[in-house]
Amino acid sequence: MFQEKRVFVDTNYFESYDKAYVLGTVRDLLSQHGALLATNASNAEIIIEPRSGALSTDSSSSLVGMPSVPIPIPYAGTLSSPEMYLWKTEKLFSTAKIALFAYDQKSRKHVYSSGPLAGKASHRYYKFLGYFSVTKTDLPEKK
């Protein structure tokens, strides 16, 4: 659809915590599919407006045992005691939802709408008796 077309990604309607990364990923994806990235709207055949529905990470943790406790030491600062636990969990859940809208730069006619593009990931970390650990994740390994 965008093969050999000059495409400009208009960022005016996109707000997000990690804006630079998301927009860079959109530009990368367009380039991988043959789009020729334009530096401004007047040089483009197609203008794409990305929008963000969600970019979030939720986390939770629990501990059965004694957490780390700060111990004040006069004239020296604060020292923290080590955690002593039978069971500890840390859970992270992340969600991303964006959509793309494309239109012809000259005629302003609709060219493409992606609809919502959603992604989710989770990472769970469990520790037992302060020694054994188990990790469950759907994140790809870092290369």
In this predicted structure, the answer to whether residue 21 has a pLDDT above a threshold of 80 is yes
Q: Output the pLDDT for position 113.
A: 92
How would residue 84 be classed by pLDDT, with cut points 50, 70 and 90?
A: confident
- Domains identified in the chain and CATH numbers: 6-137 (3.40.50)
Largest distance between two CA atoms of the chain: 74
Give me the percent of the chain exceeding a pLDDT of 70. Answer: 100
On average, the pLDDT of the chain sits at 90
Q: Is it the case that residue 142 has pLDDT exceeding 80?
A: no
Beta bridge partners of 104: 46
Q: How far apart are alpha carbons 21 and 34 in whole angstroms?
A: 20
pTM over 0.75? The answer is no
